[in-house]
Amino acid sequence: MNYDDIVGHKIEIESLQRAIKNDHVSHFYLFEGEKGIGKKTTAKVFAKHILCKSKKYEGPCEVCSSCRKFESGSHPDYLEISPTNGMIRKNEIENLIKEISFSPFESAKKVILIDDAEKMNKESQNALLKTLEEPPTYINLILVSSNSKLLLNTILSRAEKIHFKSINVNDMVEYLIKRENVPLERAKLIADFSQGSIGRAFELIKSEEFIKLRDDVINLVDNCIFGREYMVFELSERFTKTKEIANDVLLILLLHLRDIYFYKFTQDDKLLINKDKLEFIKKHSILEFGKINDIIEKIYYAKESIDLNVNRELLIETLFFNIQEEY
């Protein structure tokens, strides 16, 4: 595992490489950004780089004893903490503080990575603060968070922040083709639907269910438009079996509406995400621009409502009937 294995984030990686090269590695980092975009992967490569004995600024050497132990998961100077049952508790942080008090065993540094750091409760964060006030010189602490607003200001103010953006679609397509041997058109589709998340892209590579779900959602839109809205009741239970599936349905709807909008405006299929659904997009583009925007607003409202744990089945059924009414 090295920097070459990371999709995108070139500016952030170069910043970390410079820190190694100039011997200016901070004692405390916060890697923040949306879920699934490669923050933790980058943090682990950086930790490996810090511990590497060769000190090549380009990245870990992969051959020294430190790199080999890191890859095997047996490095004595690397500790990783993640939530248990959705939370990082105070006793886990207290155990971490005890571990920090021991000097490195093999490398010059000891690296601690806390994943999903926002899952620390207030007591955990306050316990961690004591270590941050006077950290040992050999400690490098990396917090990884997809919602850093939940961290105490006193923690945020001490961290060197590295902000990770969603991955560029072209970077993801290139990676999927070269590294995962995904055909071009499928790579484009996965990249668009993953919304900048490489973690989500990996899920979609393996998921034939998502492709079937996309077919069923667009077919249901077609059924609603042409008077077969009773099909909503046949599919709504499957469309809402889990919160994740319901969110996928809304994303598919949103991107289908986006395709309709662009095709109606340009009559150009090069800008479409669902190029293989051009026949449906042409049929569905009879909708007025204002009504397309109305449906898009309702989809966003539905996304917010799902996060509030409303009745998903009723919500999705209502949304599809609203689509039928707009046509």
Helix (H) or strand (E) holding 80: strand 78-81
Which has more confidence, 5 or 234? 5
Q: Which of 241, 281, 228 is nearest to 257 (CA)?
A: 281
Model pLDDT for residues 244-253, shown as the tens digit of each residue: 889 889 989 9
Q: Which domain holds residue 234?
A: 207-326
Domain annotation covers residue 137: yes
Q: Per the structure, how many domains does the chain have?
A: 2
Per-residue confidence at 326, pLDDT binned at 50, 70, 90?
Answer: confident
Domain annotation covers residue 120: yes
Domain end point (choices 164, 197, 219): 164
Domain with residue 278: its CATH number is: 1.20.272.10
Mean pLDDT for the stretch of residues 221-231: 80
CB contact at 8 A, 172 and 7:
yes
Sheet architecture: strand order including 160-164: 78-81, 110-114, 139-145, 28-33, 160-164
Tracing tokens 């170069």 back to the chain, one arrives at 14
Structure tokens at 47: 């930790």
CB contact at 8 A, 218 and 256:
yes
Indicate if 224 and 110 belong to the same structural domain. Answer: no
Whole-prediction pTM:
0.75
Model pLDDT for residues 264-294, shown as the tens digit of each residue: 888 888 878 888 889 999 989 888 888 888 9
What contacts 182, CB < 8 A, 6 or more positions away?
Answer: 176, 190, 205
| 56 φψ region: left (φ > 0), alpha (ψ -120 to 50), beta (else) | beta
CB contact at 8 A, 249 and 239:
yes
